[in-house]
């Protein structure tokens, strides 16, 4: 017997229409070079509908890819809705990617038009001649005086949108593509992930729930995560689902600017990669953060010491979330369960440092990569983390590398190594490619980094493997000291000693000025390895005889 419920398509237009009607008095705030711009949801929604009309004016095809090359602004959020609500495909471009990768991505996705913030024109204009199918470039004036090139494709956003008619939104098929985002790609060209109307709808619902990000109508949400990074972690969609105010930092992504905005705009909810929260840590005493109720960290492991420092100063830890561009991206959140209250303070902090629980809609398993054998959830066995669910990718756009990343029974191979405890809480050990392989055993670079970053003199720590004649690889720690702090190699190794097996101890500590970062602000081990390509382990560094 079948259920007798309507076969209702899960698409974005009804979500938009509901927000437009119900939350017209809520606001989107954008920080600009000329001060703060405020727009009511009602005005924003009207602009979003005219933007939809503007896409018709430009003659963008029914399934046309519409690129954005932009900061976090209300206009960018309008694009997030206008494009898929007219059936087209939003394609967010990472403004910090290498030129060749951007060229590849724009051409691979067949972008027909790109919306660009004027302040980004100096970067963008150099790339424009390499874009094969781009017929229009819509320049969004953000107060910057960057020169608009003399090119017939250039169109002024204001003129275009003011001259366009508002349109009715509607999409018939929930499986239609709604947005694309390319993974930064550590090797080879980036890979295109294509979100559907349905996947964004379900991801948005999940992100609202207490098992997701738990965003409420009363929130004022500041996405520090760039809108071009991994579907902005749902933060261009979920606040609109729930009627929360949005506070958008524009180009002001420095820790001081973010701190000032949180304070002046009474932000309650914010999210970003751990390096942002590391940068803001020294400012916690200098600004008023009393409005904040939740800070989310993800994209790379949030060091326990960092989360604890926030908890001690602000009374709220950093809520740890895990995901990938391929997972829309919210795939697990480190939520506390009521039974955690019985744990010691130390155990609670350990619990929070885990990547946490998959929400309803995401299933996970850990397996032996070569055999596919499923491993037990005992928090000891570690294996490749695989996930599946309605907002998890099933393949990459027009890419023959898809086969490597998906199992024959339909799970996404994340490339992360994890253990899972009996309740289902995920603990990421490392990325497969970052594990240090010593004497046939694995060493978790993440574990060592987290321990090192708990030392008061250490601002940043990244551990990489370097070749070793006997052990194949040995870990070395690259450490950035806090301003004015001193700590030597021996002190840092002694600090690790009580916490890890002897053979895990790094063979060397290299002091550097800064850990190189990726285009989205994560530690870039790839660049760090390149930086240390000529590094040779000091003679006698490994306690070789004792390792095995």
DSSP 8-state secondary structure symbol assigned to residue 523 = B
Q: How far is the CB of 459 from ligand ADP (least distance, A)?
A: 19
Number of Cβ within 10 Å of residue 485's Cβ equals 12
Task: Please state whether the peptide bond connecting residue 329 to the residue before it is cis, i.e. omega within 30 degrees of 0.
Answer: yes
Which residue in the shown chain puts its C-beta closest to ligand ADP? 184
End-to-end CA distance of the chain: 62
Query: Are 331 and 392 a contacting pair, CB within 8 Å?
Result: yes
| Chosen residue from 44, 131, 277, 322 binding ligand ADP by CB under 6 A | 322
Report if residue 298 touches ligand ADP, rule: CB under 6 A: yes
List b or e across 64-77, with b for residues whose CB sees 16 or more CB atoms inside 10 angstroms: bbbbbbbbbbbbbb
Please say which residue, 32 or 328, places its beta carbon nearer to ligand ADP.
328
Q: How far is the CB of 533 from ligand ADP (least distance, A)?
A: 21
Sign of the Cα pseudo-torsion (103, 109, 110, 116, in order)? negative
| Chosen residue from 112, 117, 245, 416 binding ligand ADP by CB under 6 A | 416
Whole-angstrom distance, CA of residue 177 vs CA of residue 195: 6
Q: How far is the CB of 93 from ligand ADP (least distance, A)?
A: 14
Please say which residue, 85 or 385, places its beta carbon nearer to ligand ADP.
385
Nearest CA-CA partner of 180 in 12, 98, 68, 82: 68
Whole-angstrom distance, CA of residue 489 vs CA of residue 508: 7
Rounded to 5 degrees, φ, ψ at 321 are -130, 145
| Chosen residue from 522, 524, 542, 547 binding ligand ADP by CB under 6 A | 522
**Segment interacting with ligand ADP, rule: CB under 6 A, options 96-104, 242-250, 400-408, 414-422:** 414-422
Please say which residue, 64 or 317, places its beta carbon nearer to ligand ADP.
317
| Chosen residue from 325, 328, 386, 405 binding ligand ADP by CB under 6 A | 325
Report if residue 413 touches ligand ADP, rule: CB under 6 A: no
Region at 224 (left for phi over 0; alpha for psi -120 to 50; beta for the rest): alpha
Q: How far is the CB of 355 from ligand ADP (least distance, A)?
A: 5
Report if residue 395 touches ligand ADP, rule: CB under 6 A: no
Q: How far is the CB of 230 from ligand ADP (least distance, A)?
A: 5
* Burial status of residue 42 (CB atoms within 10 A of its CB: 0-12, 13-18, 19 or more): middle
Please say which residue, 228 or 504, places its beta carbon nearer to ligand ADP.
228
Report if residue 301 touches ligand ADP, rule: CB under 6 A: yes
Secondary structure of 345-401 in HEC code, one letter for each residue: HHHHHHHHHCCEECCCCCEEEEECCCCCCECCCCCCCCEEEEEECCCCCCCCCCCCC
| CA angle, residues 350, 351, 355, in degrees to nearest 5 | 105
Catalytic residues: 183, 326, 437, 442
Name the maximum alpha-carbon separation found in the chain.
76
Whole-angstrom distance, CA of residue 411 vs CA of residue 401: 15
Rounded to 5 degrees, φ, ψ at 222 are -110, 105
Q: How far is the CB of 327 from ligand ADP (least distance, A)?
A: 8
Report if residue 355 touches ligand ADP, rule: CB under 6 A: yes
| CA angle, residues 361, 365, 371, in degrees to nearest 5 | 140
Q: How far is the CB of 405 from ligand ADP (least distance, A)?
A: 11
> Torsion angle of alpha carbons 51, 53, 54, 56, nearest 10°?
140
Report if residue 166 touches ligand ADP, rule: CB under 6 A: no
Please say which residue, 64 or 299, places its beta carbon nearer to ligand ADP.
299
Q: How far is the CB of 13 from ligand ADP (least distance, A)?
A: 27
Report if residue 276 touches ligand ADP, rule: CB under 6 A: no
Rounded to 5 degrees, φ, ψ at 392 are -110, 135
**Segment interacting with ligand ADP, rule: CB under 6 A, options 151-159, 243-251, 320-328, 367-375:** 320-328
DSSP 8-state secondary structure symbol assigned to residue 121 = H
Hey, which residues does 204 pair with through a beta bridge?
none
Which residues 423-442 are close enough to bind ligand ADP by CB under 6 A? Answer: 428, 431
Report if residue 414 touches ligand ADP, rule: CB under 6 A: yes
Report if residue 183 touches ligand ADP, rule: CB under 6 A: yes
Please say which residue, 11 or 231, places its beta carbon nearer to ligand ADP.
231
- Using CB under 6 A as the criterion, what x/- string covers residues 203-242 for binding ligand ADP? ---------------------------x------------
- Using CB under 6 A as the criterion, what x/- string covers residues 13-52 for binding ligand ADP? ----------------------------------------
Nearest CA-CA partner of 69 in 105, 96, 89, 93: 93
Report if residue 447 touches ligand ADP, rule: CB under 6 A: no
Query: Are 113 and 134 a contacting pair, CB within 8 Å?
Result: yes
> Torsion angle of alpha carbons 516, 520, 521, 522, nearest 10°?
-70
Report if residue 320 touches ligand ADP, rule: CB under 6 A: yes
Report if residue 184 touches ligand ADP, rule: CB under 6 A: yes
Q: How far is the CB of 185 from ligand ADP (least distance, A)?
A: 7
Report if residue 366 touches ligand ADP, rule: CB under 6 A: no
Q: Which residues bind ligand ADP (CB under 6 A)?
A: 183-184, 186, 230, 298-301, 320-325, 355, 414-416, 428, 431, 522
């Amino acid at each position: 017997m079948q259920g007798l419920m309507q076969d209702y398509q899960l698409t974005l237009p009804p979500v938009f229409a509901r927000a437009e009607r119900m939350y017209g008095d809520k606001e989107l705030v954008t920080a600009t070079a000329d001060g703060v711009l405020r727009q009511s949801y009602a005005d924003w929604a009207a602009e979003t509908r005219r933007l939809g009309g503007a896409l018709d004016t430009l003659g963008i095809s029914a399934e046309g890819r519409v690129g954005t090359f932009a900061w976090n602004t209300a206009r960018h959020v309008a694009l997030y809705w206008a494009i898929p609500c007219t059936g087209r495909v939003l394609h967010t471009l990472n403004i910090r990617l290498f030129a060749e990768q951007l060229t590849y991505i724009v051409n691979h996705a067949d972008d027909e038009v790109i919306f660009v913030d004027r302040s980004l024109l100096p970067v963008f204009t150099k790339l424009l001649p390499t874009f094969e199918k781009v017929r229009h470039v819509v320049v969004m004036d953000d107060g910057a005086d960057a020169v608009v090139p003399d090119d017939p494709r250039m169109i002024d956003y204001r003129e275009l949108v003011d001259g366009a008619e508002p349109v009715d939104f509607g999409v018939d098929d929930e499986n239609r593509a709604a947005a694309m985002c390319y993974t930064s790609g550590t090797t080879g060209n980036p890979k295109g992930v294509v979100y559907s109307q349905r996947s964004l709808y379900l991801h948005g619902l999940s992100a609202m729930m207490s098992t997701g990000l738990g965003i409420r109508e009363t929130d004022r949400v500041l996405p520090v995560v760039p809108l071009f990074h991994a579907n902005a972690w749902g933060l261009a969609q979920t606040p609109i689902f729930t009627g929360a105010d949005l506070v958008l930092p524009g180009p002001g992504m420095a820790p001081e600017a973010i701190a000032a905005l949180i304070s002046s705009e009474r932000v309650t909810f914010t999210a970003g990669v751990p390096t942002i929260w590391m940068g803001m840590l020294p400012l916690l005493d200098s600004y008023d953060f009393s409005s904040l109720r939740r800070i989310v960290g993800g994209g790379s492991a949030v060091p326990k010491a960092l989360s604890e420092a926030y908890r001690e100063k602000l009374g709220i830890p950093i809520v740890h979330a895990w995901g990938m561009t391929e997972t829309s991206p919210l795939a697990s959140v480190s939520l506390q369960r009521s039974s955690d209250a019985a744990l010691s303070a130390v155990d609670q902090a350990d619990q929070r440092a885990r990547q946490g629980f998959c929400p309803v809609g995401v299933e996970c398993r850990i397996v032996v990569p070569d055999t596919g054998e499923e491993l037990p959830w005992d928090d000891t066995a570690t294996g490749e983390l695989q996930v599946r669910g309605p907002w998890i990718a099933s393949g990459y756009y027009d890419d023959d590398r898809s086969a490597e990343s998906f199992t024959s029974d339909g799970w996404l191979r994340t490339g992360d190594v994890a253990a899972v405890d009996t309740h289902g809480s995920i603990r990421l050990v490392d990325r497969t490619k970052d594990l240090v392989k010593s004497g046939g055993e694995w060493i978790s670079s993440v574990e060592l980094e987290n321990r090192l970053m708990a030392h008061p003199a250490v601002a940043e720590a990244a551990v990489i493997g370097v070749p070793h004649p006997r052990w194949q690889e040995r870990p070395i720690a690259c450490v950035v000291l806090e301003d004015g702090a001193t700590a030597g190699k021996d002190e840092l190794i002694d600090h690790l000693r009580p916490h890890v097996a002897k053979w895990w101890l790094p063979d060397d500590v290299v002091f550097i000025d800064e850990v190189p970062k990726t285009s989205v602000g994560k530690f870039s081990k790839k660049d760090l390895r390149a930086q240390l390509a000529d590094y040779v382990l000091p003679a006698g560094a490994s306690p070789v005889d004792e390792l095995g």
